[in-house]
Amino acid sequence: MVVHRTMLRRIYDWCIDAAHKPYALWIMASVAFAESSFFPVPPDVMLIPMSLARPQRAWLYASVCTAASVLGGMLGYAIGALLYDSLGHWLIEFYHLSDKVEAFRASYAEWGALIIIGKGLTPIPYKLVTITSGFAGFNIWLFVVCSIIARGGRFFVAAVLLNRYGDWIRVRIEKHLTFWVLLGAAVLVLGFVIVYWLL
């Protein structure tokens, strides 16, 4: 347990320190881009500590996450539209979501843009939304607009809170770091559970 706490602390400290490094934005943007199409870890793992380290730059970090996530979403869309039978299907199978794709695709006919916005704001894996949007032939420009709303809404809510209450939040996170990391992991897992059981 002590080893896990030490490791978590080192990772957290690295993210805090990274906020002052020129390469930090590139790493965070890469994570945000990849998470929208194939990577399992959300950019929040860097967005939150970096915003805690430099609350005045929380808006910039949220903007970078939003832009990179939307671009990554366009890659996911392209995978669904052009490569679903190969790469797209493999990614969906990798996350054990194949039995959800048809139901998810069918719901576009009834709910359309609300699906993209709603799912983009939740812990549900966004790659499922992006790949299925392409597979379903959803309008690409409406997809981009909905993605900006959904991902921007998620990241900028975090930016507002971290910009205004960063010091207060940082004290509580650092005091109970293991708890907050476990909670974040639980939310990530919850997204997959929701997909498996409720969609």
- Under DSSP, the state recorded for 39 is -
pLDDT in tens, 15-71: 667 667 778 889 899 989 998 887 777 888 888 888 888 888 889 999 999 999 999
For the segment 98-121, the average pLDDT, to the nearest whole number, is 69
Question: What are the backbone dihedrals phi and psi of residue 25, each rounded to the nearest 5 degrees, phi first?
Answer: -60, -35
> Is 120:70 a contact under the CB 8 Å cutoff?
no
Structural domain of residue 121, as residue ranges? Answer: 2-198
Single out the residue of 142, 150, 152 nearest to residue 121, CA to CA: 150
> Is 126:120 a contact under the CB 8 Å cutoff?
yes
Q: What is the pLDDT of residue 135?
A: 82
Assigned token pair, 75:
């890659």
- Alpha helix ranges (H) inside the chain: 2-18, 24-35, 44-53, 58-82, 89-94, 98-111, 113-121, 126-136, 140-175, 177-198
Which amino acid type is present at position 27? Answer: I
pLDDT interval class at 180 (50, 70, 90): low
Element (H, E) at 112: none
- Percentage with pLDDT > 70 across the chain: 66
Assigned token pair, 91:
């990614």
Q: Which residue has the higher pLDDT, 195 or 190?
A: 190
User: What is the number of domains present in the chain?
Assistant: 1
For the segment 156-163, the average pLDDT, to the nearest whole number, is 86
Placement of tokens 């996170």 in the chain: 173
Quote the CA–CA distance of 159 and 81 in Å, as a whole number: 33
> Is 49:10 a contact under the CB 8 Å cutoff?
no
